């Protein structure tokens, strides 16, 4: 069941392409062209789970420097329904964001809400919706159809993501099913111009990760993601797995590390050859009153900020830092005022987007390592002071 997106909303004849513009060791800078425009890589994708980056207007996202957003198929399938969004002209029109959108397949939500799974077989996975407890089922064909209806620029394959402490046999089974499903989803209809990324699994097990990458790359996709990492395994193992994966992945296509977004993690995976990543951290941190700054993390609930007239971050030009004091932001956070959440979200997104833009420029100069070391030193030094 192919869905035709709204005419005149950015789709047309185009050739997708990823172009590397600079490399620095394993790190890469590039440009990915999609049906709704280009994005520069490395690229951080703010997460708009339910077709909104919580509390932020699309124009503000653009002004912060965001070039691509991530939305969640799982949530949009249940509320309001991908067919409803299709009827209203597709996801871009629905949320008034005319730039690139990547949709995940819903697989990660199903497998991380483990208690909701009813059954899994070679055909798909049956689970209870977190919205109303009703029985639902995802198959690769449905993941393709829903993402075609949403009309995202980059669709993701349905994969099986086991927990970080899964036994090797469970990891191997996830690799097997992920390949099986990727083959089926690859054969399904897509929205015009929609790119499809394959996902490798295998946790931090070098042999299983290699097997998964080889199988997925053999099928051939527009880009390749690392799934099943950053889910609680030790960080050194995660970075090791990332470096090894980069060496196995096709050089001329984008690489997406799913679910990393802390400043240190971002810089480490960029250095190991990753081009795209997403994380709810900058927006989730805002909800807990935490600001990411060039001098480390600030928890605004800390009483020390009660009379602090300084901006959150002297180096930041976001709406929160140019107009408001830490004391005022702390007051908003403590009173759970909406503006406090909004301003911290704007700041945290700006911080991460700036950090990544800086990394890109550093790659172009051939100085990523110097950039990373200096950034981490600043972040680490200040964390000790707090």
Minimum CB separation of residue 286 from Zn ion in Å reads: 11
Nearer to Zn ion, 225 or 321 (CB): 321
Q: How far is the CB of 311 from Zn ion (least distance, A)?
A: 7
Nearer to Zn ion, 276 or 346 (CB): 346
Q: What are phi and psi of 105, to 5 degrees?
A: -90, -15
Q: Is 371 exposed, middle or buried (0-12, 13-18, 19+ CB in 10 A)?
A: buried
- 3-state class of 42 per DSSP? coil
Start-end of H helices in 79-139: 82-87, 91-95, 107-112
Q: Which of the residues 104, 159, 262, 275 is marked catalytic?
A: 104
Pinpoint the alpha helices (H) of 187-234: 206-219
**Residue 197 vs 324, nearer CB to Zn ion:** 324
Residue whose C-alpha is closest to residue 219's, from 176, 250, 248, 186? 186
- Determine whether 104 is an active site residue: yes
| Nearest approach, Cβ of residue 323 and Zn ion (Å) | 10
Smallest distance, Zn ion to C-beta of residue 245, A: 33
- Considering beta carbons, is residue 272 or 347 the nearer one to Zn ion? 347
3-state secondary structure (DSSP) of residue 374: helix
Q: How far is the CB of 189 from Zn ion (least distance, A)?
A: 43
Compare residues 53 and 249 and give the one whose CB is closer to Zn ion. 53
Q: Are 73 and 150 in contact (CB under 8 A)?
A: yes
Catalytic residue among 159, 222, 275, 278: 278
Do 197 and 225 contact (CB within 8 A), yes or no? yes
Residue 239 and residue 6 in contact, taking contact as beta carbons nearer than 8 Å: no
Q: Which is nearer to Zn ion, 251 or 337 (CB)?
A: 337
How is residue 263 written in tokens?
């400043």
> Least distance (Å) from Zn ion to the CB of residue 320?
5
For Zn ion, the closer CB: 65 or 89: 65
Please state whether 289 falls in left (phi above 0), alpha (psi between -120 and 50) or beta: left
Where do contacts with Zn ion occur on this chain (CB under 5 A)? Answer: 316, 318, 320-321, 347
3-class DSSP string for 125-188: EEEECCCCCCEEEECHHHHHHHHHHHCCCEEECCCCCCCCCCCHHHHHHHHHHHHHHHHHHHCC
Strands, E, within the chain: which ranges?
Answer: 17-24, 27-34, 37-41, 43-45, 69-72, 101-104, 117-120, 125-128, 135-138, 154-156, 195-200, 223-226, 255-257, 276-278, 290-293, 296-299
Report which DSSP code applies to 204: T
Contact 352, 266 (CB under 8 A): yes
Q: How far apart are CA 193 and CA 294, in angstroms?
A: 39
CB of 291 to Zn ion, least distance (A): 8
Catalytically active residues are 104, 278
């Amino acid at each position: 069941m192919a869905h035709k997106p709204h005419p005149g909303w950015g789709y047309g004849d185009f050739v997708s392409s990823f172009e590397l513009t600079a490399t620095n060791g394993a790190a890469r800078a590039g440009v990915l062209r999609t049906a709704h425009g280009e994005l520069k890589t490395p690229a951080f994708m703010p997460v708009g789970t339910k077709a909104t980056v919580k509390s932020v207007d699309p124009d503000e996202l653009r002004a912060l420097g965001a070039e691509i957003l991530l939305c969640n198929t799982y949530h949009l399938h249940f509320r309001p329904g991908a067919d409803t969004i299709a009827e209203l002209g597709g996801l871009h029109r629905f949320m008034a964001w005319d730039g690139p959108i990547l949709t995940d397949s819903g697989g990660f939500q199903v497998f991380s809400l483990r208690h909701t799974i009813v059954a899994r077989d070679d055909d798909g996975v049956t689970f209870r919706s977190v919205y109303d407890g009703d029985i639902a089922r995802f198959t690769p064909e449905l993941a393709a159809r829903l993402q075609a209806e949403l009309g995202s620029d980059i669709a993701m394959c349905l994969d099986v993501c086991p927990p970080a402490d899964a036994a090797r046999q469970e990891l191997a089974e996830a690799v097997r099913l992920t390949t099986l499903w990727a083959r089926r989803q690859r054969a399904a209809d897509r929205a015009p111009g929609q790119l499809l990324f394959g996902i490798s699994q295998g946790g931090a097990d070098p042999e299983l990760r290699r097997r998964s990458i080889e199988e997925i790359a053999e099928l051939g996709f527009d880009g390749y993601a690392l799934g099943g990492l950053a889910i609680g395994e030790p960080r050194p193992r995660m970075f090791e797995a990332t470096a090894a994966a980069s060496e196995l992945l096709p050089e001329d296509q984008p690489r997406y590390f799913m679910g990393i977004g802390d400043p240190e993690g971002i810089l480490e995976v960029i250095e190991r050859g990753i081009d795209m990543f997403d994380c709810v951290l900058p927006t989730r941190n805002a909800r807990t009153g935490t600001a990411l700054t060039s001098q480390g993390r600030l928890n605004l609930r800390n009483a020390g900020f009660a009379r602090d007239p300084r901006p959150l971050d002297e180096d930041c030009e976001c709406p929160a830092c140019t107009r408001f004091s830490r004391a005022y932001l702390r007051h908003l956070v403590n009173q759970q005022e909406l503006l406090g959440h909004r301003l911290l979200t704007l700041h945290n997104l700006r911080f991460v987007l700036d950090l990544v833009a800086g990394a890109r420029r550093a790659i172009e100069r051939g100085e990523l390592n110097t950039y990373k070391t200096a950034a981490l030193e600043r972040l680490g030094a200040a964390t000790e002071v707090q």
